[in-house]
Amino acid sequence: MLIQPFDMADIDIVAEMLAKMWEKDIARGIEHINEFSREVVLNMFFDPQLALKACDDNGTLQAVALARMKDEINISEQWVKDFLADKDDEERKHVHETTAYLLRTERDLLNLMSENSAKFSFLLSYKHGYAKALQEEIKQLLIDCGVQWTYHITDSTCSWQYFYKHGYERIHEELVEQFSTPFQPYYCYMYRKRIV
């Protein structure tokens, strides 16, 4: 495994990874899912020093982790307007529903975050062990900046069990009706962990 700074040249690869994860769940009905996923990742990227990627021995990107300090959290809606400029009404509706959910959960987490804290704004891994390695690297950078707590948002379609296995405390759980089906409820989870 090779850990390197996240390179914006990899944004399309990451967007495709995210789109594959989302296409059956939160972003169903969004026709331009790769483009939408790209905009989501761009909106979560703030500090290049807190943005890492992990590649396998062949140089293939396998994981990405982006973090940001509490005071750097930006809930910008401009990119949504730009994205929707040339989309049809049905896709606009789906994107508005999805982004409203993402923006609301971001605000909810911000209200729960303590001082001296940071958020892992994006964590995606295709290969076992890679996410943990990236988190450990970023954790040390955050400790050096005086951060005491890290926070995460995830959902029931992701590997939320990871957080229990790695000592995180669940601080919020919510059934999200708009993304649930009669056969599969959709839950939003928020976690925190003290790192010092």
CATH of 2-194, one of 3.50.50.60, 3.30.1360.70, 1.20.1600.10, 3.40.630.30: 3.40.630.30
Token code pair at residue 59: 């140089």
Rounded distance, CA 97 to CA 99, Å? 6
Query: What count of Cα atoms within 13 Å lies in the side-chain half-sphere of residue 64?
Result: 25
Per-residue confidence (pLDDT) for residue 34, from 0 to 100? 63
Per-residue confidence (pLDDT) for residue 86, from 0 to 100? 77
Q: Which residues of the chain have pLDDT under 50?
A: none
What residue segments make up the domains of the chain, in order of their start?
2-194
H or E segment and range at residue 169: strand 169-175
Report the relative pairing of strands 149-155 and 169-175 from DSSP bridges: unpaired
Rounded distance, CA 193 to CA 20, Å? 28
pLDDT in tens, 43-85: 666 777 888 999 999 999 898 888 888 876 555 566 667 767 7
Of 14, 4, 11, 15, the closest CA to residue 53 belongs to: 4
Place of tokens 């040339």: 86
Per-residue confidence (pLDDT) for residue 26, from 0 to 100? 52
Express the helix, strand and coil content of the chain in percent, nearest 5 each: 45, 25, 30
What's the per-residue H, E or C state across 32-89?
CHHHHHHHHHHHHCCCHHHEEEEECCCCCEEEEEEEEEHHHCCCCCHHHHHHHCCCCH
Per-residue confidence (pLDDT) for residue 143, from 0 to 100? 94
Per-residue confidence (pLDDT) for residue 126, from 0 to 100? 82
Residue 4 CA to its chain's centroid (Å): 19
Quick one: CA torsion of 135, 150, 24, 89, rounded to 10 degrees? Answer: -130
Per-residue confidence (pLDDT) for residue 146, from 0 to 100? 92
Rounded distance, CA 150 to CA 169, Å? 11
Place of tokens 């939003």: 188
